[in-house]
Structure 1
Amino acid sequence: MTAPARIVAVAARTPIGLTAESSAASARARLSRLATHPFMVDGLGQPLICARDGLLDEALPGPARLTALAGAALEEVVFKLAVLGEMRQPPKVLLALPETRPGFSEDDATKVVEGLGTLLRPSKASPRFEVAGRGHAGALHALSVATQRIRQGAEDLCIVLGVDGYLEADTLDWLAAHRQLAGEGVRTGFFPGEAAGALAVARASVQERSGLPLLASLRGTGTAVEARGIQGDAEVLGEGLSQAILEAATGLRLPEERLDAVYCDINGERYRTEEWGFAVLRTQQLLRDSAYISSVDCWGEVGAASGALSCVLATQSWVRGYASGPRALVWGSSEGGLRAAAVLEAGPPSRREP
């Protein structure tokens, strides 16, 4: 028998909160940390408007900065699991990191993994790390991997951890050169941010035996590759995103189980808005409403952390009782072409797999 995967703990470190609960509450209140950076500038040499972690040294360099953010989220989720006694063996941590770009190399990715590997040692619960996704869709792809391994019996519990940040001089220059950095003369750019989010995903039997909270059931996940890239000249049609969403929603009983909310990484870039518009045309039978929830105006553009943080927002809406309904779609689009989606459901799953 296979069992559904369930989200049993969440964590976050964002410019608007030090935990999952405080970050979600601040996002709901539309609190924003967008402000002028003390010394960084945008593509025109003007003071950079961004959202940054107020507790980190402004001069802390890239890999160390991401390690600090991810480490905070990892420690939070591990603490929540340990308090409830479900850390008897080292968990598998599936990482979502930035795609390779100016200011973040493969060597930097290795440094982040190595840095995280030292955080919980010599604890018996020291995690096992694996990079399972890159870019905006990375955490949701990692969630798909975690779900598959849990269903196959390879893992009982996995931690999905996404982290990203754009506050690196080479990265900002690259964004400005591609007219992605918000500022004078750029109509569809974004304000950079930095954050990390984490999800603990467990087998149903583990959740029930241990008494871990059931924050959400994973009704489905989907991934695809989009050939019409964000940086390309081809017209966006949303084909890859549509494919990922339809795959994630395969198990829904329609129309009664249509999706009540949509969480995504739309950040002001025209490509992402148009991609969602075309995807809606192909998937509208799944949606009660095509409106979406994005918190980039609160914590800035957070790249590979966005999928995990979207799941945090969805689960907290159910925990706190302000959700519009019991099912949510979360999706993300990486610049390299990866598209990923997940369907989450509050409370006990509406049906068990045979």
Structure 2
Amino acid sequence: MSISVVASGLVTAIGFNAAACLAALRAKISGVKTEKLYDLQAGQYLRAARVRLPQWWEGIGKLAELLAPAIAECMDAADGVDSARIPVLLCLPEPGPPDRLGGTPAQLVAALQARLGRPLSPLSRTLAQGQVSAVAALVHARALLAQNDCAYCIVAGVDSFLRQSVVDAYIAPRRVMTASNSNGFFPGEAASAVLLRQSRPDGPELRLLGLGLGREAATIASDLPLQAKGLCAAVQGALGEASVAFHDVDYRIADANGEHYKFKEATLLVGRLMRKRKPERFELWHPVESLGEIGAAIGPAALAQALHAGLHGYAPGPTVLCHFGSDGGDRAAAVLRYT
């Protein structure tokens, strides 16, 4: 049984809904601007990608405010199915330090239900695995949708790096883009969601072909030489399940965020797995360029971008490889095809 992505919802620094955000993403509009986050070492304000909410606040309340509209977009696209019968698999940042969530998952779920004005399905759950959460959620969604009483499922993610304490924690190991450090990311925040159902022959939809997971020993904080073994294992697992050769993938979407580490890992992946020369350019899309580093929200955002690219005809081809990696060493990949 295969499942497919059929709709999306987004709240980001470049748009308050999926249509606006994905159009801006296609146009390569950046949401990164100078914000009231301070680099004490350089004595300068930082550039970051902030969602333009009507007021400023932090923590659980803000994350719920970002997340509710994205999930509501997906619920509204579910053919009139009662939202209480649609499980929500919520992707969250991995436990700190630093603590990007600002509370507990249970508190976030309660705040989310209050803003939605309706309870979530009892089959809903949270997955606090950072960037790889979405692939773990897809594994669970596939099992849920195999049940006859579950017509739809939502995979959603939310994250924010825009607290001074969080920024300070990433500035210390020189991971944030600053005036004195070009090997870093722009902090961001976002909520993203995708609606899934069992695949149908009538389309249009983004069909999930394969999933893979891996573990990297040479993390970004490690002194070990990076050989991309964890990412290679995840991608090989996804390709094997999909029965797709690496050279038959048309393009890639990844969580590359401006740090040399992630681009090196993506380059090593191609060098290790490409067995046949591709006649055309093998594009690597990195939405973080426009959205800032959005952590656990990157997975559903990448799936939304792939669906939009297929619907509007600007994808290099129908088959896409999405791959992600968390700071702790988890790696994940998904192969999908637009039909």
Q: Tell me whether the two structures share a fold, i.e. TM-score over 0.5.
A: yes
Partner of 2:9: 11
The TM-score normalised by the length of structure 2 is: 0.91
Determine the C-alpha separation between the residues in 2 that align with 1:203 and 1:271. 36
Determine the C-alpha separation between the residues in 2 that align with 1:130 and 1:256. 33
Written as runs of structure 1 = structure 2, the 5 A alignment for 1:165-204 is 165-204=160-199
Is 1:63 the counterpart of 2:60 in the alignment? yes
Q: Which runs of 4+ in 1 moved over 6 A?
A: none
Partner of 2:111: 115
Match of 2:239 among 236, 240, 249: 249
Percent identity reads 31
Aligned partner of residue 184 in structure 1, secondary structure: coil
Determine the C-alpha separation between the residues in 2 that align with 1:43 and 1:270. 23
Contact 1:43 1:181 in 2 (8 A): no
Determine the C-alpha separation between the residues in 1 that align with 2:195 and 2:181. 39
Determine the C-alpha separation between the residues in 2 that align with 1:43 and 1:221. 42
Aligned partner of residue 267 in structure 1, secondary structure: coil
Shift of 1:163: 0.9
Shift of 1:256: 10
Shift of 1:13: 0.9
Partner of 1:74: 71
Shift of 1:253: 4.8
Shift of 1:141: 2.0
Written as runs of structure 1 = structure 2, the 5 A alignment for 1:1-354 is 3-37=1-35, 39-44=36-41, 45-58=43-56, 60-81=57-78, 84-87=79-82, 89-101=84-96, 102-104=98-100, 107-122=103-118, 128-151=123-146, 155-204=150-199, 214-253=204-243, 258-285=248-275, 288=278, 289-347=281-339
Give the unaligned 5+ runs of structure 1.
Answer: 348-354
Determine the C-alpha separation between the residues in 2 that align with 1:50 and 1:106. 19
Determine the C-alpha separation between the residues in 2 that align with 1:29 and 1:117. 34
Shift of 1:198: 0.6
Aligned partner of residue 301 in structure 2, secondary structure: helix
Shift of 1:340: 0.9
Shift of 1:176: 0.5
CA-to-partner distance for each residue in 1:198-232, whole Å, 9 max, x for gaps?
1111123xx57xx8x64211011111222221211
| Segment drifting more, 105-114 vs 188-197 | 105-114
Contact 1:284 1:290 in 2 (8 A): no
| Amino acid aligned to 2:26 | R
Q: 1:222 to 1:189 in 2, by over 3 A?
A: same
Shift of 1:180: 0.7
| Amino acid aligned to 1:337 | G
Determine the C-alpha separation between the residues in 1 that align with 2:325 and 2:169. 19
Shift of 1:156: 3.8
Contact 2:68 2:112 in 1 (8 A): yes
Shift of 1:157: 2.4
CA-to-partner distance for each residue in 1:113-168, whole Å, 9 max, x for gaps?
22113233446x75743112421111122122212443476844221001111001
The TM-score normalised by the length of structure 1 is: 0.87
Q: 1:219 to 1:122 in 2, by over 3 A?
A: closer
CA-to-partner distance for each residue in 1:50-82, whole Å, 9 max, x for gaps?
011112423x1122221111112111111121x
Contact 1:223 1:247 in 2 (8 A): yes
| Segment drifting more, 71-80 vs 285-294 | 285-294
Shift of 1:23: 1.0
Aligned residues: 335
Contact 2:59 2:102 in 1 (8 A): no
Determine the C-alpha separation between the residues in 2 that align with 1:296 and 1:172. 17
